[in-house]
Amino acid sequence: MTATVSQIMDADPQTVSPDDSVETVVQRMHDHELPGLPVVDADDLLIGIVTESDLLMFDEQDDLDPPASVQIMGGVIYLGSVKHWEERIRKSIASTVEEIMSTEPITVSPDADAHDAGHLISEHGHNRLPVVDDEGRLVGVVTRVDVLEALLEDR
């Protein structure tokens, strides 16, 4: 019988609050060797997630330069995504978790089985998923390794 997420998850995950500083996130990720942290409010409601990719700007100059544009009749038409550029500028000057976190993260229920969690992890290319109850409270985190171990035991 396949294990449920509640049986394989970390029930006491590291978290950050939206008011924490970016430095706090980096330090906590470093101290606990984590690629990301759930963001919870005072009631433990999951409101986002912050990952290494939210913190890193791989090609900083390309990300900070505005997209190519043309001027026509006194107006500017951008040839690339202005939204992406604005988002990267916002994140590059952020000082709090709220300013860099990704909202509406992919989550899984504690009652889901390991196969379901594995499908979500694979489908979305994540290494870990926040586990939330019916009210949206964070109750744990399940990782790709947790799922793989459960599926191997299931064989």
**Domains defined along the chain, listed by start:** 5-154 (3.10.580.10)
Three-state helix/strand/coil letters over 55-110: HCCCCHHHHHCCCCEEEECCEEEECCCHHHHHHHHHHHCCCEHHHHCECCCCCECC
CA nearest 128: which of 113, 112, 141? 141
Structure tokens at 100: 């860099």
Residue 64 or residue 50, greater confidence: 50
Collect all residues with Cβ–Cβ distance below 8 Å to 21 and sequence separation of at least 6: 95, 96, 97
CA nearest 22: which of 128, 103, 93? 93
Out of 82-96, 113-127, 129-143, least confident range: 82-96
24 DSSP 8-state letter = H
pLDDT band at 58 (very low <50, low <70, confident <90, very high): very low
Is the per-residue pLDDT at 62 higher than 60?
no
